[in-house]
Every structure is written in structure tokens, then in C-alpha cells.
Structure 1
Amino acid sequence: MNSLDGQQNRPSFRRLDHHYIVMQAGFWAMFASVVAYQTALLLERGFSNGEAGLMTAVRCLAGIVCQPLLGGFADRHPEIPLKRIVTISLLLSLGAGAWYWLSPDMGLWETALVWVVIGGLEVSSYPLMDAMAIQFINDGVPIRYSLGRGVGSMAYAVVCVLLGLQVGSAGLESTLLTHLLLVVGEAALVASYPAYRGDRRASQQTGPKPQSALSLLKSNPRFTLMLAGVLLGLTGIMPLSNFLVNIVTSRGGTEADLGLALFLMGASELPTALFFGKLLRRLGSGKLVMLSMLFGTLKGVLLLLTTGYLGVLLVQPIQVLGYGLFTPASVYFVNESVPEADRVRGQTVMMVASNGLGGMLGGLLAGCTLDLGGANLMLAGCIACGCAGTVLCLLALRKNTWISSFQNRPNGV
């Protein structure tokens, strides 16, 4: 298909842009409804902090396994629209969510199975949703990805505060019904998104074939080192949201108060969309990833210094330069750092290292430290991991500088 045909058959820029922004909002609303209150719900169902941490790890481990499988399947079958893969994943997760809602007395193993499905299919669908937009962006369509991510953060924030009110009036179990309704809505949004028809998803595509994840890591040491930094950094950063309920209650708040803290955390990510483009042009995606690790770690330091619930609320706006900056920066970093044929897999590998492995190890770290020494010990462990991750990200940037300097040296020097 030539470029003229592609322009004629492609949906309008406005529709692609607006639909994607709404789809981002739907995903993060859905995500908030099941993940933001995961720990609180597990604790109410009688599980210990360690078991709640284990369930977080199970959810993230499922993503680690399923994300590369979904990404690899998408790369090997370009004739299948990405939206079809995502829609089917969401519908399968809907069934697991319904079982979870209807069985409040299920044991540890049944609960683990539910989180395997939700983590492996629902949460893991996000990299493919990113790829749905990146395909059009790479083809010259001005989809405002960072704005979509910012609106998604606001949707997360609004849903969290509404869930806080819902928990106060109807209990934690009611959040599961809200989750089911939001999954249905998001599946409808994904299914109705226009499928990409450009050359890059054509089944007769020629050129370099996608590499395996291992080959991609071996051939790109800077990318690999940055992934290691992100892994350690997110190990320290993810518990600050996944186990925020423990921090809130340790500072005198309640489970209902968690909603306001989550609202401020999510809403603080929205301003990132307003200045992300300028930061990207000025600093580059790699430096922005490193800065997100730095400020995410600083958030842990500030939370450790708080003595009351008000202090927890006042710390949340630092999210604007922490996790709020990481998500769009990491997407652009992958897009700039790996070959074109490997971009879907590259996005998947990044999600595995961050929300996958980082979330899994962060859940285990939080569960163990909370049982051993409470919220302050958890925060100390998070700070240590965040510092190590920031240093590795900085080394990845330095490594790129060293390589460029070596390549630019005159022959014989």
C-alpha cells in the first residue's frame, strides 16, 4: 500500500487523538478500581501484610510472563489488529474479576489465580495499547500521547477519590463491582478504536525481523543498563502507591482517607502532560527517565519524614516529576533506543522491567518489611532501592556519552 492510499484510508487525526485520550482515561480508571485498593481489600479479607505483598508480586509476575508473550504474538502476527488482542485480554480478565467479586471467602490459592489472570491479561494489555498509538505516531499522526497519559492520571485520581467515598458508604467489596463495569467500558473503547492499516503492520512486511528479548538486550547495552536502573528504581517506587494504605494508616489516617491521598497522587501526574514536550526536547528521554527515578526516590524520603496524615497529602504532588514523568519518558526512550522492528517488544520489555519485575519485587519488599518493622522500615528499603536505580540510570546515560566520544575520536588516537 503506498503512502497516498494510506492517507486516504486512515481515520482523521482528530478522531485518533481524541479516542486514544478517552481510551487512556478508561484504562487508568479501570486500573485504579482494582489495583489502588488491592492491598486494603486483601487485608479486610483476612490476609496478612506478607500475603498482600505476595498477591501484588503474583499480579506483577503474571505480567512479566504474559507481556512478552502478548508482545511477541503481536510481532509475529501483524495481520491481527492490536485492538483485537487487547479486547480479548480484557474480556477474559472480566471473567476472573466477576469470580473474585462473587467469592469473598476464597482462599489464598484461588485469590492468587484471580490475580494471575488480572495481572497477566488486564494490566499487561497496557503496552499494546501504547503500541496502538505509537504505530500512528511513527506514521506521522500527531496523537498527543503525553496528554492522553496525563488525562489517564486524572481519571485515576478522580476514580480513587470516588472509590474512597464509596468505601466509606458501601464497603471495600463494592469496589469490585465498579471494576467490572469499567472493564466492560474499556473493552468497548478498545474494540472501537480504528485499526492501523499502514505498512508497518502489513503482513507482507519485509526488512529486519523482530529480535528475541534476550537478543535485544545483548545488542543494546545502554538500553539494558537503563532497564536495570528502572527495575531497581521501580522496586522502591511502586510500594509508595501499592501500599499507600499502610503509610496513611501509620500516619493517623483511615482506609476512607486513602481515596484523597490517591487522588492527589494521580492528579499530580496531569501537569506532566503540559510541559513534557518541552522537557523532552530540552533534556531527551533518557535524562527524563533518570530524573523520574530520582524524584520518585525523593518522595520516599519525604514520606519517611512525615509524622501525620496531612504530611502524606502534602508529599503527593512530587509525583509530577516522579512516576508521572516516567511513563511517557520510558515510552519515548524505547522508541528512540531500539530498532523499528523491535519497538512493540521493546515497549513490552520496558513494562516487564518496570511495572512487572519492579512491582513484583516491590510487593515482596513491602510485605516483608511491613511485617518486620512497619511502614518506616518499608520506606527505608524503598529509598535504598530507589537510590541504586537512579545511579544505574545515570551510568546508562554516561555509557552513551562514552560510546559517542569513542566513536568520534580520530583514527589512531
Structure 2
Amino acid sequence: MERKMTLKYAALQGSYWMTFCSIVVYSSVFLLSREFSASQIGILIAWANIFSVVLQPIIAGFADKSNKITIQRLAVLIALGGLAPLGIILFIPNVKLVVAGLFIIVITAVGILMPLINGISVYYENKGYNINFGLARGIGSLSFAVASYILGYLIKKQGENIILVAAMILFAFMILMLNMFKIKNVDSSPEQKKSPVKSKDKYFFQEYKMFSLLLLGVVFLFAFHNMINTYLVQIITHVGGDSKDMGISLAIAALCELPAMFLFSKVVKKISADKLLKLSGIFFTIKSVAFYFAHSVVMIHLSQLLQVLSFALYIPASVYYANQVMKEEDKIKGQALFTAALTAGGMVGNLLGGYLIDYKGVSTMLLWCIAFSTAGMIIFFFSARKVGNYELNEAKGEYIS
């Protein structure tokens, strides 16, 4: 029964990450076909990120407290809210303001769905099911890789509108998978409904000074990371490639995440999380340099192999590290701050990357990537420190790729 539940949940993760790939990763390809500039795309995605960050805790809190609607049904409603605008975009004339507004809604919906999808695993864990979250999340990365490759091929053959068609099909598949789960709400006692005790915010950053500095390093590293991911199509085109090459490149990066995801629990027993964070910072920087000196599609593909020791290593290492340095009452806040810093880096990367490509060119943007990743790496070396013994907080959904 538990194996069946894990497989079903893995299929749900797979459907989500394929949808994420079609909407978020290929957004730049589609919007360029609708005559958006790189800087306009950056602004659009940044606004979607802001809305996601604001709405995620609000909707998650509603899902926790509501006795009328389950987390599964809420996820279905939000998925439908992301699906509907795609159909409108597909058939309306190219009115930029309308397309931009609708696309922001779609990207926001995808962002909001992430904690809800992860929350379904928590629900079943609390019911006594032993869901292998690492395996399910690994299937998500594998599905992302497959979707990346297929979409790149289809765009070359059918044109950019195939992105909308694929995203609509994948949203529908995700809704189907969500309906495979039977979730019931449980009435909470008054004590359970009360908000948990929080540490005093004004003293938090004073108490965790090195952790606060580390967050700045995360912002720098993910400004670089989002620049090369959001504007990968421009980078690929710059070296003579096309959408099919972009799909292959994304698939390579996603497949490289699998070893780190499956083996990290064994690696961290031998190498502490602070050292693994520093190692990821080194390879983020090496990757940025590799991208700058890549003058062919093959070299871009080879640069993506560095994903295994950069992004794929950082994600689980950050979860372990936050649980190492935080007091019990601050552990959730530590994870949330890592996510916030990552998102802030994404906003910086999307906005600045679009401007640089439009007015300075791809090469200049890649130089900024080196500067950002180097700054992040240096900050990691000064701020990531080992503090005593620790255990992994196994609350599901605390880390993503």
C-alpha cells in the first residue's frame, strides 16, 4: 500500500514539474515570439515571483485552517485558475498588456501550487503512510528533463504556440492526478488553531548574524542561476543554437540533479553541510565561468554538467544547514528565509538579466553572472560554519529544484 502511495505521489510530482517546465522555463521562448523584449520578460516574471511569495503563506494558512475545503481541492482550483488563462492567450490577438497579465496569473498559479503539492505528502505521512519523498522528488526532476527535451523538439517543428498547448495538457494531467488522492479535513481544537509561538523577529538577525550574511550569498548565487535559466534561449542562440538545443541543455541539467538528490543523505554523513554549501558555491562560480567561455552549443551542454555540484548540491545542503544552526523554534523560519533569499535572487537576476541582454548583450550579462557567483561564493566561505550536531528535519516540502 505504501509503495503504491509513493508511486502515485511520484506521478503527481512528475506532472507538477513537467507543468513547471512548460510554463516557467519556456516562458522566455514563448514571450519572445509574442514580441516581448528580454527586459519586459524579466519584469513580468519578477512580478509573478512577488505575487507567489505573498500568496503562498496566505493560501497555505487557509488550507491549514479550513474545514470546508481540502488541500487537494484547493490545489485543483488553483490549477484550473492557471489552465484557463492559457486557453485565452492561445486564441486572443497579440495584445501585450493582456498577454502579460494573463501570463503573470499562470506563473503565479504554478508557484502557489508548489507548497500544496508538497503538503499532500505531509498529510499522508501524518496518516501513517511512509511516502519516499526523495524518490518522488527525483521522479519530478526526471520528468522535468523529459519535458524539456520534448518541448525543445516540438517548438522547432510546430512553433512557440505548442508551449501553450503542452502546458494546458500538463495542467489537465496534474488535475487528474490530484483527483486520485482522497483527503479529508479534520476539525482542529481551539488550541491547534492558535498560532505557534514565534521567536522575536527583531532579535532574530542579531542572534544569527552569520546566517543572515549567508542569505546575502544566496541572493547573489541565485541572481546568477536565474539569469542563465530565464535567458537560456538567448544564450543558446548567441552560440548558434535553437529551441531544440535549449531543450537538450535543460534536460542535461535536470538529469544531473538526480545523483545529488538520491545520494545526499549518505554524503552528508561524511561531509558536513557547511562544507557542502561552500563546495556548491565553488561550482556555481565554475559554472558561471564555463558559460562565459562557452562558444558553442556543445560547450553549453558540458557546462550544464556542473549542475550536479552546484544547484543540485545546494538545495539539500541548505535544508540540513538551517536545521543545524537554528534553535528548534527557529527551524521553520530558517527554511523560509532560505526560500525568500532564493526568490529575491531570482527577481534580481530576471530584472537585471533582461536589461543587460537588451542594452549590453549576452556576453555582458554573463560577465555579471561571474561577478554575482563569485560574490556569493566568497560570502559562503565567510558565513557557512559548522555548529554542533544536528539532524535533518524531515518535514516534507522544505526543499525544491
Query: For the superposition of Structure 1 and Structure 2, which TM-score range results when normalised by the shorter chain?
Result: 0.7 to 0.9
Q: Does 1:87 align with 2:76?
A: yes
Distance 1:264 1:403, change over 3 A: closer
| Match in the other structure for 2:369 | 382
- TM-score, normalising length: structure 1: 0.82
Q: Aligned-pair distance for 1:339? A: 7.2
Match of 2:39 among 50, 53, 63: 50
Distance 1:47 1:276, change over 3 A: same
1:86-124, Cα deviation, whole Å (9 max, x unpaired): 2222121112222222235021x3233223312322223
| Match in the other structure for 1:271 | 259
Q: Does 1:116 align with 2:111?
A: no
Determine helix, strand or coil for the equivalent of 1:307.
coil
Q: Aligned partner of 2:58: which letter?
A: L
Asked if the contact 2:68/2:185 (under 8 Å) is kept, the reply is no
Determine helix, strand or coil for the equivalent of 2:268.
helix
Determine helix, strand or coil for the equivalent of 1:127.
helix
Distance 2:109 2:240 in 1: 36
Distance 1:106 1:53 in 2: 18
Q: Does 1:311 align with 2:311?
A: no
Spell out the pairing of 1:18-29 with structure 2 (5 A cutoff): 18-29=7-18
Asked if the contact 2:24/2:107 (under 8 Å) is kept, the reply is no
Asked if the contact 1:68/1:349 (under 8 Å) is kept, the reply is no
| Match in the other structure for 2:350 | 363
Distance 2:116 2:229 in 1: 23
Q: Aligned-pair distance for 1:337? A: 6.2
CA RMSD of aligned residues (A): 3.4
- TM-score, normalising length: structure 2: 0.84
Asked if the contact 2:224/2:372 (under 8 Å) is kept, the reply is yes
Q: Aligned partner of 2:95: which letter?
A: M
Match of 2:195 among 198, 209, 234: 209
Q: Does 1:171 align with 2:159?
A: yes
1:359-391, Cα deviation, whole Å (9 max, x unpaired): 221101211111232212111112222222333
Range moving further from structure 2, 304-313 or 218-227: 218-227
Q: Aligned partner of 1:17: which letter?
A: T
Structure 2, unpaired ranges of 5+ = 391-401
Distance 2:255 2:127 in 1: 31
| Match in the other structure for 2:394 | none
1:220-273, Cα deviation, whole Å (9 max, x unpaired): 626544433322211111121111111111111123321211221222222223
Distance 2:327 2:85 in 1: 36
Identity rate, percent: 28
| Match in the other structure for 1:182 | 170
Distance 1:98 1:237, change over 3 A: same
| Match in the other structure for 1:155 | 143
Distance 2:174 2:90 in 1: 19
Distance 1:58 1:77 in 2: 28
Distance 2:199 2:365 in 1: 32
Q: Aligned-pair distance for 1:173? A: 0.8
Q: Aligned-pair distance for 1:140? A: 7.3
Q: Aligned-pair distance for 1:348? A: 5.1
Determine helix, strand or coil for the equivalent of 1:281.
coil
1:49-101, Cα deviation, whole Å (9 max, x unpaired): 21122222222222222223223434555885433332222121112222222
Asked if the contact 1:366/1:378 (under 8 Å) is kept, the reply is yes
| Match in the other structure for 1:145 | 133
Distance 1:160 1:127, change over 3 A: same
| Match in the other structure for 1:9 | none
Asked if the contact 1:268/1:324 (under 8 Å) is kept, the reply is yes
1:375-413, Cα deviation, whole Å (9 max, x unpaired): 121111122222223333444422x64999xxxxxxxxx
Range moving further from structure 2, 218-227 or 54-63: 218-227
Distance 1:215 1:165 in 2: 49
Distance 1:162 1:230, change over 3 A: same
Distance 1:130 1:396 in 2: 30
1:141-185, Cα deviation, whole Å (9 max, x unpaired): 543323222221111111111111111211011111110110111
Distance 1:322 1:80, change over 3 A: farther
Number of matched pairs? 388
Determine helix, strand or coil for the equivalent of 1:133.
helix
| Match in the other structure for 2:88 | 99
Q: Aligned partner of 1:326: which letter?
A: Y
Q: Aligned-pair distance for 1:16? A: 3.1
| Match in the other structure for 1:3 | none
Distance 1:290 1:163, change over 3 A: same
Q: Aligned partner of 1:362: which letter?
A: G
Q: Aligned partner of 2:91: which letter?
A: L
| Match in the other structure for 2:22 | 33
Distance 1:340 1:252, change over 3 A: same
Asked if the contact 1:365/1:381 (under 8 Å) is kept, the reply is no
Q: Does 1:248 align with 2:236?
A: yes
| Match in the other structure for 1:218 | 204
Distance 1:263 1:217 in 2: 43
Distance 1:344 1:194 in 2: 27
| Match in the other structure for 1:373 | 360
Distance 1:25 1:370, change over 3 A: same
Determine helix, strand or coil for the equivalent of 2:204.
helix
Determine helix, strand or coil for the equivalent of 1:57.
helix
Asked if the contact 1:58/1:115 (under 8 Å) is kept, the reply is no
Q: Aligned partner of 2:144: which letter?
A: Y
| Match in the other structure for 1:298 | 286
Distance 2:202 2:182 in 1: 30
Q: Aligned-pair distance for 1:286? A: 4.9
1:185-217, Cα deviation, whole Å (9 max, x unpaired): 11222343354889xx95555498336799399
Distance 2:60 2:211 in 1: 18
